[in-house]
Amino acid sequence: MVKPVNAQTGREYVRNYPDSTLHVTLVAPETVRVLVVPRGANANFPRVPLVLPQPTTRDAFKLRVSKSNIDLQTSRLRLHIHNDAPAVDFYDAAGKPLSLDSGGAATVEGQQRDTRSIAPDEEFFGFGLQFHSLAQRGKTKTLKVNADPKDDKGNSHAVVPFFLSTAGYGIYLDSHAYTYFDMGQTAADSLYFQTPDPVLDYYFCYGPTFHDLLARYTQLTGRMRMPPKWGLGFWYRMKSDWKQDKVEATAREFRTRNIPCDVVGLEPKWQTHAYSCSYIWNKDQYPDPAGFVGRMRGQHYHVNLWEHAYVHPSSPIYDELEKANAVADKKVWGGLVPDWTKPEAAAIFARLHEQEHLKLGVDGYKLDECDGSDYTGGWFFPDDTHFPSGLSGAQMHNVFGYLYQKRFHEMFERRNQRSYLLCRGMFAGAQAYPTVIYSDWYGFEQYVRAAANSGFSGVLWCPEVRQTANEQEFIRRFETVFFSPLAMINAWADGVTPWEKGPEVERIFRLYAGLRMQLMPYLYSAFWQMHETGLPVVRALVMDWPHDRNTYAVDDEFMFGPSILVAPIISGTTRSIYLPTGQWTNWWTGETITGGRRINYEATPDRLPLFVRVGSIIPMQPVMSYVGEKPVDTLTLRVFPSQEPFSSVVYDDDGTTLNYVQGQNVRIHSAGAPTSKGISLSMSAPQGNYRPEWNHVQWEVQGMGIIPRRVLLGRSVLKPLASDAENAVRGYTYDATTHLLRIVVPFGKAQTIHIIS
């Protein structure tokens, strides 16, 4: 038997094998790092750290040595370390196998590989923003950032070497090289993953739920910072060749037509040179940049500029970047390629952007073309590029976009300012930043599948809208984009507007833009939950119903926040919708139906199928032309009561600064429960240091079959109000047609309402 060289009862276990050394580290009770260093390998090869420093866990390995195994036990896991090879088996605390190593880590054809067994009923999800499939068992994935993937081989704008298993665990392979995963294709009962890095470095996470797994993964690689509230409003990207006057007129038109809009985006031609970039205003298009941005801000628009990272010789930072030794030895579109790992590169960019744009009031960017493209060629630096930090092109490839947007967030954060960025190339770690991936290149079906897939790694995806084959598709697509992290029309090429297709399309557009605005507190609170726990705002059904096997194949529906199921109709007017176990209320009709089955659904073009999970409280606000147009005097809580107790949290803060990190925020817990006489609703006193705008709360209880006999606030009886009582501050109304009970009470103190039927 080979003797362990450094067996400790602490958090590290190290053991030598003939060909390698195994390091097993307890990161958290449910998270274990496995590092296998082949003999003679350089473990300090250049790479970008993606795992954050972790708090020291109080848990420790308990070591048991038997004849056949070394047994390491934590409060949540049991590990068996093999004697004959660097192999680690994982069991839960009760001894149930989670993932067993079949053979041990080894160097195969120059790559570091680990092979693990698959249980017969196990299914896998993950790998980032996949467009072609949801469930991954039996598939292979090569994880390379790439624009417009044409097949199901893994490459995408955002690849993430993290997968989740329905057996209750997840594995994050900590490598930003081009990694490869075989999820049971070669052998049905085993999977393997491998990296060209000199070492094999992976993190095993125990859930057991998918929500837990996202919490573990984001604990390792980062949790979402809060986006600015304005970023969650509607975005319109102007046609690239429109000049200043036309852009301003179009922005005004949103206001005069009463269509909510918060952000306008300018496309390549705002610059003197775009491929590669000068970052300097093109005076032919924008003769007066400061005046232009000032007027847009005056109309309460946020201005977002398109750019990419390749620096044209005419740019004022060209020479500076070269002198600072902060660029690669190869160019893209004749432009310098910054080495984002070098602080000098970031500082030089930040100085120019501050001076040219931020000072004027620009507060966001669309960071394009950082994903390369195998299909066009020449749109990216090649693998043999050399970066001054020591990374090769191949090592930089996957993290280039990730680092680019990270540097830009840092630029805003130094101003105590949040931004919501667009960026087309991302990797693990991207889920820590309010940056949204986009591309106008996909069919509707792929857009929706990517939305479902995005949640497995917590990246944000915008199924943006441009000109479509027909009007119906335009409508269906924009309805869907309003239920995504970023609602945008990208008219850069065609100048399509919400009104050019006539009053009916415009009406529907206004309806959905308004609904998005009404749902702002709901969406913002869902982002806060993501910030707190890693739970993605948009996610596949299987994330919430992992035990319902029917959800494994559902790639054309997704959850938008904790309560709303979105099932876009891809074409025509009908579709089959899977509703997971539980009760569901049709958002539009109020009808409640039982899930755990498929239903056939028919909807006119203006109705995006939306179902609310019964037992939900959805915080809402009035429609506004832009975020913050008016103070929100009344917080609306739309209640979809269930037979079980239910609850939710509303979150708020100033929406623009980083002060929330220091506790300038507020949480309100609301809950409901059936009682012997009816329903009780309760709300906590606000918790936190931020004072929200609300003075009143309006509870809107859905599905009240009959008028209540009494409504009590604490012990005091509330009075019925006239049904048209608009500005009432206390009392209730009941609408016998819609079965909606509306209760208005003051906001601020803990309160309980009893509805007695």
Give, in order, the Cα–Cα distances in Å from 162 to each of 21, 145, 181, 211: 24, 14, 10, 14
Q: Write down the least CB distance from residue 366 to ligand GAL, Å.
A: 7
Question: What is the smallest separation between the CB atom of 235 and ligand GAL, expressed in angstroms?
Answer: 12
Q: The tokens of 680 are what?
A: 């009780």
Instruction: Name the closest residue to ligand GAL (Cβ).
Output: 492
CB of 490 to ligand GAL, least distance (A): 5
Q: Considering only residues 268, 455, 536, 546, which one is a binding residue for ligand GAL as defined by CB under 6 A?
A: 268
Q: Which is nearer to ligand GAL, 92 or 369 (CB)?
A: 369
Going 239 to 242 to 248 to 254, the CA torsion angle's sign is: negative
Task: Say how far apart CA 255 and CA 233 lie, in whole Å.
Answer: 14
Q: Which CB atom, from 337 or from 718, has the smaller least distance to ligand GAL?
A: 337
Minimum CB separation of residue 308 from ligand GAL in Å reads 8
Single-letter code of the amino acid located at 272: T
Residue 301 Cβ, how far from ligand GAL at the closest point, in Å? 19
Residue 613 identity: R
Residue among 114, 123, 307, 440 that touches ligand GAL (CB under 6 A):
440
Cβ proximity to ligand GAL: between 270 and 306 the closer is 306
CB of 220 to ligand GAL, least distance (A): 31
Strand order, beta sheet including 190-195: 106-108, 111-117, 190-195, 179-187, 140-143
343 closest CA partner among 435, 407, 402: 407
Q: What are the tokens at 231?
A: 């970023």
Q: Under the criterion CB under 6 A, does residue 131 sit at the interface with ligand GAL? A: no
Nearer to ligand GAL, 356 or 369 (CB): 369
Phi, psi of 677 (to 5 degrees): -105, -10
Question: Least distance in Å: CB of 19 to ligand GAL?
Answer: 46
Exactly one of 30, 89, 92, 267 binds ligand GAL (CB under 6 A); that residue is 267
How many residues contact ligand GAL, by CB under 6 A?
A: 9
Q: Which of 75, 429, 43 is nearest to 223 (CA)?
A: 429
CB atoms within 10 A of CB 91: 18
Closest distance of CB 306 from ligand GAL, Å: 5
Residue 740: exposure state from Cβ atoms within 10 A (0-12, 13-18, ≥19): middle
663 within 8 A of 703, measured Cβ to Cβ: no
Give the residue with the Cβ less far from ligand GAL, 206 or 444: 444
Residues 500/471, Cβ–Cβ less than 8 Å: no
Least distance in Å: CB of 439 to ligand GAL? 6
123 contributes a contact to ligand GAL by CB under 6 A: no
Q: Is 453 in the site for ligand GAL (CB under 6 A)?
A: no
Q: Which is nearer to ligand GAL, 240 or 657 (CB)?
A: 240
Judged by beta carbon, residue 441 or residue 601, the one nearer ligand GAL is 441
d(C-alpha 664, C-alpha 606), whole Å: 40
User: Please, what is the minimum distance in Å from the beta carbon of residue 282 to ligand GAL?
Assistant: 14
Shortest Cβ 474–ligand GAL spacing (Å): 17
By CB under 6 A, tell whether 492 contacts ligand GAL.
yes
Supply the DSSP string of 387-398, one letter for each residue: -TTS-BHHHHHT
Taking CB under 6 A as the rule, does residue 439 contact ligand GAL? yes
Give the residue with the Cβ less far from ligand GAL, 492 or 522: 492
Q: Which is nearer to ligand GAL, 144 or 366 (CB)?
A: 366
- Cα–Cα distances (Å) from 301 to 247, 582, 638, in that order, read 12, 42, 29
Max distance between CA atoms of the chain, in angstroms, equals 85
- Lookup: tokens for 487: 């609602």
Is the CB of 250 or the CB of 642 nearer to ligand GAL? 250
Beta-sheet strand order (sheet of 583-586): 538-539, 558-560, 564-566, 610-613, 583-586, 592-594
- The DSSP annotation for 559-588 comes to EETTTEEE----SSSEEEEEE-SSEEEETT
d(CA 128, CA 156) in angstroms, rounded, equals 8
- Contact in structure between 487 and 519 (CB atoms under 8 Å): no
If one asks whether residue 306 binds ligand GAL (CB under 6 A), the answer comes out as yes
Structure tokens at 481: 């984009």
By C-beta, is 300 or 312 nearer to ligand GAL? 312
Closer by beta carbon to ligand GAL, 124 or else 420: 420
User: Shortest gap between Cβ of 486 and ligand GAL (angstroms)?
Assistant: 13
- Closest by CA to 672, choosing from 601, 629, 616, 595, is 616
Closer residue to ligand GAL (CB): 443 or 714: 443
DSSP annotation of 168 reads S
Binding mask 47-66 for ligand GAL (x = CB under 6 A): --------------------
**Contacting residue, 368, 544, 556, 653, with ligand GAL by CB under 6 A:** 368
Please report whether residue 369 would count as binding ligand GAL according to CB under 6 A.
yes
Q: Say whether residue 265 binds ligand GAL (CB under 6 A).
A: no
Chain-centre distance for alpha carbon 552: 20
When the beta carbons of 240 and 299 are compared against ligand GAL, the nearer one is 240
446 counts as binding ligand GAL under rule CB under 6 A: no
CB of 317 to ligand GAL, least distance (A): 21
The Cα 532–Cα 428 span in angstroms is: 18
State the alpha helices, DSSP H only, in 420-490.
Answer: 444-454, 471-481
Does position 490 bind ligand GAL by CB under 6 A? yes
Helices (H), 19-123: none
146 scored as a contact of ligand GAL (CB under 6 A): no
- Please give the residue ranges that form the binding site for ligand GAL (CB under 6 A): 267-268, 306, 368-369, 439-440, 490, 492
